[in-house]
Structure 1
Amino acid sequence: MAKARRTAVWMWRWRRNPLRRRSDMVEAYVVLTAWLLAVAGGLITGVVTADVAAQRYDRQRLDRYEVAAVLTGQAPSAASAQAVGDDEVWTAVRWRDPDGSVRTGRTKVAPFTAAGTPVPVWTDGRGHLVSRPPSRAEEASETASGGALAAMGVGGAVWLAARMVRERLNRRRLGEWDVAWADAATRWGGKTG
């Protein structure tokens, strides 16, 4: 038994033919524009987002300084409410700013760490304790994932907008078919509906 072949005309919406409606051309342009906007807009948005994130990490790296601090008391045995996998406890520390002023704060250290033990802490330009800046690997991972998410978001928004336009075109086509069938019914004596 011979297998039936499907005959599809490539780019049929772009070719001139008597069955092509105006809405078919509009839909073809909507799809083409959506593809171009999704690809180009997604790429541009992803690159810009990754660049902004990289600049933010560069500013953090320039603004944060590692300072040697000293524990002011012995670290407790265990935290009352710990995150899973977090074995460190909050303890008071003291350090000197580059201008010589003494500052105090709290940082995480291993349990039972003795008072007077030097520990590294990170401060910003105003002398406040801040988190350690991310490593180059963490920075690259976060920058890449942020750019990819932004690109997918733009692509998804464009796809959704194009889908809504195509649904509206389909409803309009169905309305045109209703009018055409009603016109045919009146010409054929009302025997079509």
Structure 2
Amino acid sequence: MRTGRRTKRWFWRWRSNPLRRRIDVLEAWLVLAVCALVAVGGTLAGAVAALAADRVFARQRAERTAVDAVLLTNTPAAASNSYRTRAEVRWTGYDGSVHTGTTLVGSGKNAGARVTIWTNAQGSLVTAPPSRETAAVEAGLLGTGAALAVTGLVVGAWGVTRWCLDRRRIGEWGSEWDLVGPQWGHKTS
């Protein structure tokens, strides 16, 4: 059974206390600043990164166009249908000109088969843009990564600052003990 009063007090560094030092008050304000930076800065960085990534993916979906092409070479068969291999394809551009290039296509296709490729506004081969669902997941992951990076930087900076404060505090304790310590000692002989 517990008896006695609770000795731990919230916000003790801000309360009037004869043992409170200026460095304790400074540390209390720094803890508050770190919490605010993690909450606000991490959230803001995550939101900005996610929105920027989402804009990039939306621009890719708008700029890239699916085009029908003809496979010029056979592709080797694979055990999995999801396996893709490089093959040469031919397609007709927007201006009616014929283009050839190398891109990734599904395995096990014969020359002359129709495949879908993606081109940009200049008619060059590009990768397929991410779907809305994939783009949303990637934007979320990038936003989370940015938020965690900001949080890691803030917490790391706080760790270095705390180390410096502790070194200073230990130095102050040492100099105070040099003044008080001899008064506590007594001679035995």
TM-score normalised to structure 2 length: 0.90
2:108 is the alignment partner of 1:141: no
Partners of 1:13 and 1:67 lie apart in 2 by 67
**Structure 2 SS opposite 1:92:** strand
1:94 touches 1:104 (CA, 8 Å); kept in 2? yes
For structure 2, the 5+ residue unaligned runs are none
For structure 1, the 5+ residue unaligned runs are none
Partners of 1:32 and 1:153 lie apart in 2 by 19
Partners of 1:112 and 1:86 lie apart in 2 by 11
**Structure 2 SS opposite 1:75:** coil
1:67 touches 1:122 (CA, 8 Å); kept in 2? yes
Question: Counterpart amino acid of 1:3?
Answer: R
Q: What are the Cα deviations for residues 10-40 of structure 1, in whole angstroms up to 9, with x where unaligned? A: 1100101111001100000110001001110
1:22 to 1:59, Cα distance in 2 relative to 1, 3 A: same
Count of paired positions? 186
Q: What are the Cα deviations for residues 59-83 of structure 1, in whole angstroms up to 9, with x where unaligned? A: 10111010010112333345xxx9x
2:34 touches 2:155 (CA, 8 Å); kept in 1? yes
| Structure-1 residue corresponding to 2:17 | 17
2:81 touches 2:107 (CA, 8 Å); kept in 1? no
CA deviation after TM superposition for structure 1 residue 181, in Å: 0.9
2:102 is the alignment partner of 1:103: no
Q: Mapping of 1:6-45 within 5 angstroms?
A: 6-45=6-45
CA deviation after TM superposition for structure 1 residue 117, in Å: 1.3
TM-score normalised to structure 1 length: 0.88
Question: Counterpart amino acid of 2:97?
Answer: S
1:76 touches 1:91 (CA, 8 Å); kept in 2? no
Q: Mapping of 1:15-164 within 5 angstroms?
A: 15-77=15-77, 86-164=82-160
Partners of 2:174 and 2:81 lie apart in 1 by 65
Partners of 1:130 and 1:102 lie apart in 2 by 17
Partners of 1:116 and 1:106 lie apart in 2 by 15
Partners of 2:76 and 2:141 lie apart in 1 by 38
Partners of 1:9 and 1:60 lie apart in 2 by 55
